[in-house]
Amino acid sequence: MATQATPRQRARRFRSETRLGLVRRARKIDRMLGQTYPDAHCELNFSNPFQLLVATVLSAQTTDARVNQNTPKLFAAYPTPEDLAAADPEEVEAILKPLGFFRAKTRSVMGLSAALRDEFGGEVPGRLEDLVKLPGVGRKTANVVLGNAFDVPGITVDTHFGRLARRFGWTTETDPVKVEQEIGELIPRKDWTMLCHRVIWHGRRICHARRPACGACPVADLCPAYGEGPVDEETARKLVKPGPFS
Protein backbone atom coordinates (compact mmCIF):
# COMPACT_ATOMS: atom_id res chain seq x y z
CA MET A 1 0.00 0.00 0.00
CA ALA A 2 1.09 3.57 -0.61
CA THR A 3 2.43 5.42 2.35
CA GLN A 4 1.13 8.76 3.54
CA ALA A 5 4.50 10.45 3.00
CA THR A 6 4.53 12.90 0.11
CA PRO A 7 6.75 12.36 -2.94
CA ARG A 8 8.91 15.31 -1.83
CA GLN A 9 9.39 13.83 1.64
CA ARG A 10 10.45 10.53 0.11
CA ALA A 11 12.90 12.18 -2.23
CA ARG A 12 14.68 13.82 0.72
CA ARG A 13 14.89 10.49 2.52
CA PHE A 14 16.43 8.63 -0.42
CA ARG A 15 18.94 11.39 -1.21
CA SER A 16 20.68 10.69 2.10
CA GLU A 17 20.68 6.91 1.67
CA THR A 18 23.96 5.12 2.42
CA ARG A 19 25.39 2.31 0.34
CA LEU A 20 24.40 -0.20 3.01
CA GLY A 21 20.93 1.30 3.06
CA LEU A 22 20.67 0.89 -0.71
CA VAL A 23 21.68 -2.77 -0.53
CA ARG A 24 19.19 -3.47 2.23
CA ARG A 25 16.40 -1.62 0.42
CA ALA A 26 17.09 -3.42 -2.88
CA ARG A 27 16.96 -6.80 -1.19
CA LYS A 28 13.78 -5.88 0.68
CA ILE A 29 12.14 -4.83 -2.59
CA ASP A 30 13.13 -8.17 -4.09
CA ARG A 31 11.61 -10.03 -1.13
CA MET A 32 8.39 -8.03 -1.29
CA LEU A 33 8.05 -8.55 -5.03
CA GLY A 34 8.59 -12.26 -4.37
CA GLN A 35 5.64 -12.22 -2.00
CA THR A 36 3.55 -10.26 -4.51
CA TYR A 37 4.40 -12.48 -7.47
CA PRO A 38 5.08 -15.97 -6.07
CA ASP A 39 4.44 -17.51 -9.49
CA ALA A 40 6.75 -15.19 -11.44
CA HIS A 41 8.44 -16.98 -14.31
CA CYS A 42 9.54 -16.56 -17.91
CA GLU A 43 6.40 -15.85 -19.91
CA LEU A 44 7.74 -17.34 -23.13
CA ASN A 45 6.58 -20.91 -23.68
CA PHE A 46 9.34 -23.45 -24.32
CA SER A 47 10.20 -27.09 -23.70
CA ASN A 48 13.96 -27.06 -24.32
CA PRO A 49 16.90 -24.61 -24.57
CA PHE A 50 16.63 -24.36 -28.37
CA GLN A 51 12.99 -23.32 -28.21
CA LEU A 52 13.70 -20.74 -25.53
CA LEU A 53 16.63 -19.32 -27.50
CA VAL A 54 14.55 -18.93 -30.65
CA ALA A 55 11.52 -17.57 -28.79
CA THR A 56 13.64 -14.97 -26.99
CA VAL A 57 15.17 -13.76 -30.25
CA LEU A 58 11.69 -13.55 -31.76
CA SER A 59 10.36 -11.55 -28.78
CA ALA A 60 12.30 -8.43 -29.80
CA GLN A 61 9.89 -5.56 -30.53
CA THR A 62 6.79 -7.66 -29.96
CA THR A 63 4.97 -9.27 -27.05
CA ASP A 64 5.59 -12.63 -25.43
CA ALA A 65 1.93 -13.46 -26.05
CA ARG A 66 2.31 -12.98 -29.77
CA VAL A 67 5.49 -15.04 -29.83
CA ASN A 68 3.71 -17.83 -27.95
CA GLN A 69 0.95 -17.81 -30.57
CA ASN A 70 3.43 -18.40 -33.40
CA THR A 71 6.17 -20.63 -32.01
CA PRO A 72 4.07 -23.85 -31.80
CA LYS A 73 3.72 -23.86 -35.59
CA LEU A 74 7.40 -22.99 -36.04
CA PHE A 75 8.66 -25.73 -33.72
CA ALA A 76 6.24 -28.31 -35.11
CA ALA A 77 7.70 -27.70 -38.57
CA TYR A 78 11.32 -27.29 -37.44
CA PRO A 79 11.91 -29.02 -34.09
CA THR A 80 15.73 -28.98 -34.19
CA PRO A 81 18.47 -26.52 -35.16
CA GLU A 82 19.30 -28.76 -38.11
CA ASP A 83 15.69 -28.57 -39.33
CA LEU A 84 15.43 -24.81 -39.02
CA ALA A 85 18.85 -24.20 -40.57
CA ALA A 86 17.83 -26.17 -43.66
CA ALA A 87 14.37 -24.62 -43.97
CA ASP A 88 13.04 -22.64 -46.92
CA PRO A 89 13.35 -19.00 -45.76
CA GLU A 90 10.07 -18.05 -47.40
CA GLU A 91 8.23 -20.71 -45.43
CA VAL A 92 9.78 -19.52 -42.16
CA GLU A 93 8.92 -15.92 -43.05
CA ALA A 94 5.29 -16.91 -43.60
CA ILE A 95 5.13 -18.33 -40.07
CA LEU A 96 6.88 -15.37 -38.47
CA LYS A 97 5.12 -12.60 -40.41
CA PRO A 98 2.65 -11.78 -37.58
CA LEU A 99 5.61 -10.92 -35.30
CA GLY A 100 6.84 -8.00 -37.39
CA PHE A 101 10.36 -7.60 -38.77
CA PHE A 102 9.83 -11.15 -39.98
CA ARG A 103 12.57 -11.12 -42.61
CA ALA A 104 15.24 -10.03 -40.14
CA LYS A 105 13.94 -12.48 -37.55
CA THR A 106 13.98 -15.29 -40.08
CA ARG A 107 17.61 -14.54 -40.88
CA SER A 108 18.46 -14.48 -37.18
CA VAL A 109 16.80 -17.75 -36.17
CA MET A 110 18.00 -19.57 -39.25
CA GLY A 111 21.51 -18.15 -38.77
CA LEU A 112 21.71 -19.13 -35.12
CA SER A 113 20.36 -22.56 -36.00
CA ALA A 114 23.10 -23.02 -38.59
CA ALA A 115 25.70 -21.89 -36.06
CA LEU A 116 24.37 -24.37 -33.50
CA ARG A 117 24.53 -27.12 -36.10
CA ASP A 118 27.99 -26.26 -37.38
CA GLU A 119 29.77 -25.09 -34.23
CA PHE A 120 28.01 -26.75 -31.29
CA GLY A 121 26.82 -30.10 -32.58
CA GLY A 122 23.20 -28.97 -32.68
CA GLU A 123 23.16 -28.19 -28.95
CA VAL A 124 22.59 -24.82 -27.29
CA PRO A 125 25.75 -23.93 -25.34
CA GLY A 126 25.47 -23.22 -21.64
CA ARG A 127 28.02 -20.39 -21.50
CA LEU A 128 27.38 -16.71 -22.08
CA GLU A 129 30.56 -16.23 -24.09
CA ASP A 130 29.39 -18.91 -26.56
CA LEU A 131 25.78 -17.77 -26.75
CA VAL A 132 26.62 -14.17 -27.66
CA LYS A 133 28.56 -15.40 -30.70
CA LEU A 134 25.33 -16.66 -32.25
CA PRO A 135 23.55 -14.42 -34.81
CA GLY A 136 20.95 -12.20 -33.19
CA VAL A 137 21.94 -13.16 -29.64
CA GLY A 138 23.11 -10.50 -27.18
CA ARG A 139 23.65 -10.52 -23.43
CA LYS A 140 19.96 -10.08 -22.67
CA THR A 141 18.94 -13.11 -24.71
CA ALA A 142 21.88 -15.12 -23.41
CA ASN A 143 20.96 -14.40 -19.79
CA VAL A 144 17.34 -15.40 -20.42
CA VAL A 145 18.49 -18.75 -21.80
CA LEU A 146 21.11 -19.34 -19.13
CA GLY A 147 18.80 -18.50 -16.24
CA ASN A 148 15.71 -20.36 -17.45
CA ALA A 149 17.09 -23.29 -19.41
CA PHE A 150 20.37 -23.97 -17.59
CA ASP A 151 19.71 -22.59 -14.10
CA VAL A 152 22.76 -20.32 -14.41
CA PRO A 153 22.01 -17.02 -12.62
CA GLY A 154 21.88 -13.99 -14.87
CA ILE A 155 20.40 -10.48 -14.94
CA THR A 156 18.19 -9.79 -17.94
CA VAL A 157 18.05 -6.06 -18.60
CA ASP A 158 15.01 -5.58 -20.81
CA THR A 159 13.04 -2.34 -21.04
CA HIS A 160 10.96 -3.15 -17.95
CA PHE A 161 13.94 -4.11 -15.81
CA GLY A 162 15.97 -1.07 -16.79
CA ARG A 163 13.08 1.31 -16.16
CA LEU A 164 12.30 -0.11 -12.72
CA ALA A 165 15.96 -0.34 -11.69
CA ARG A 166 16.25 3.41 -12.27
CA ARG A 167 12.93 4.19 -10.59
CA PHE A 168 13.98 2.16 -7.57
CA GLY A 169 17.20 4.17 -7.41
CA TRP A 170 19.32 1.05 -7.86
CA THR A 171 21.21 2.65 -10.73
CA THR A 172 21.28 5.77 -12.88
CA GLU A 173 22.81 3.94 -15.83
CA THR A 174 21.02 3.41 -19.13
CA ASP A 175 23.57 1.08 -20.69
CA PRO A 176 22.28 -2.48 -20.12
CA VAL A 177 25.71 -3.92 -19.35
CA LYS A 178 26.36 -1.26 -16.69
CA VAL A 179 22.87 -1.77 -15.24
CA GLU A 180 23.57 -5.50 -15.07
CA GLN A 181 26.85 -4.91 -13.27
CA GLU A 182 25.44 -2.45 -10.73
CA ILE A 183 22.42 -4.55 -9.84
CA GLY A 184 24.63 -7.60 -9.56
CA GLU A 185 26.46 -5.85 -6.72
CA LEU A 186 23.22 -5.30 -4.80
CA ILE A 187 21.53 -8.69 -5.04
CA PRO A 188 23.06 -12.12 -4.27
CA ARG A 189 23.98 -14.00 -7.43
CA LYS A 190 21.72 -16.95 -6.63
CA ASP A 191 18.70 -14.62 -6.75
CA TRP A 192 19.44 -12.86 -10.06
CA THR A 193 17.15 -14.87 -12.33
CA MET A 194 14.11 -14.69 -10.04
CA LEU A 195 14.77 -11.01 -9.36
CA CYS A 196 14.43 -10.38 -13.08
CA HIS A 197 11.16 -12.29 -13.33
CA ARG A 198 9.71 -10.38 -10.38
CA VAL A 199 10.81 -6.97 -11.61
CA ILE A 200 9.58 -7.66 -15.15
CA TRP A 201 6.22 -8.89 -13.86
CA HIS A 202 5.92 -5.76 -11.72
CA GLY A 203 6.77 -3.57 -14.70
CA ARG A 204 4.14 -5.22 -16.86
CA ARG A 205 1.41 -5.20 -14.24
CA ILE A 206 1.85 -2.12 -12.03
CA CYS A 207 4.94 0.00 -12.69
CA HIS A 208 4.04 1.02 -16.24
CA ALA A 209 6.24 3.28 -18.33
CA ARG A 210 3.79 6.14 -18.84
CA ARG A 211 1.48 5.95 -15.85
CA PRO A 212 2.63 3.69 -13.03
CA ALA A 213 -0.03 2.62 -10.53
CA CYS A 214 1.84 4.08 -7.54
CA GLY A 215 -1.15 3.97 -5.20
CA ALA A 216 -1.46 0.21 -5.72
CA CYS A 217 2.24 -0.61 -5.53
CA PRO A 218 3.41 -3.06 -2.85
CA VAL A 219 6.87 -1.45 -2.68
CA ALA A 220 5.71 2.17 -2.80
CA ASP A 221 7.24 2.98 0.58
CA LEU A 222 10.65 1.85 -0.73
CA CYS A 223 10.53 3.64 -4.09
CA PRO A 224 12.10 7.07 -4.73
CA ALA A 225 9.88 7.48 -7.82
CA TYR A 226 6.63 7.27 -5.87
CA GLY A 227 4.33 9.93 -7.27
CA GLU A 228 5.19 9.53 -10.95
CA GLY A 229 1.77 7.95 -11.28
CA PRO A 230 -1.50 8.32 -9.36
CA VAL A 231 -1.09 7.83 -5.61
CA ASP A 232 -4.81 7.52 -4.91
CA GLU A 233 -5.47 3.83 -4.39
CA GLU A 234 -8.80 3.71 -6.20
CA THR A 235 -7.40 5.48 -9.25
CA ALA A 236 -4.25 3.37 -9.23
CA ARG A 237 -6.16 0.08 -8.99
CA LYS A 238 -7.79 0.82 -12.33
CA LEU A 239 -4.34 0.95 -13.94
CA VAL A 240 -3.23 -2.48 -12.73
CA LYS A 241 -2.97 -5.09 -15.49
CA PRO A 242 -3.45 -8.50 -13.89
CA GLY A 243 -2.00 -10.55 -16.74
CA PRO A 244 -1.11 -13.21 -17.64
CA PHE A 245 0.95 -11.92 -20.52
CA SER A 246 1.76 -15.31 -22.02
Residues 14-71 pLDDT 10s = 888 999 999 999 999 999 999 999 999 999 999 999 999 999 999 999 999 999 999 9
Distance CA 179, CA 170 (A): 9
All CATH 1.10.1670.10 domain ranges in the chain, comma separated: 7-40+155-237
Query: Any idea what DSSP says for residue 154?
Result: -
In contact, 156 and 179? CB cutoff 8 Å: no
User: Could you list the active site residues?
Assistant: 140, 158
Low-confidence residues of the chain, pLDDT below 50?
1-2, 246
Cβ-Cβ contacts under 8 Å for 7 (sequence gap 6 or more): 226, 227, 231
| Residues 7-40+155-237, CATH architecture | Orthogonal Bundle (1.10)
pLDDT for 82-94, tens place per residue? 999 999 999 999 9
Contacts of 59 (CB under 8 A, 6+ apart): 44, 67
Is the domain 49-149 a CATH 3.40.50.150 member? no
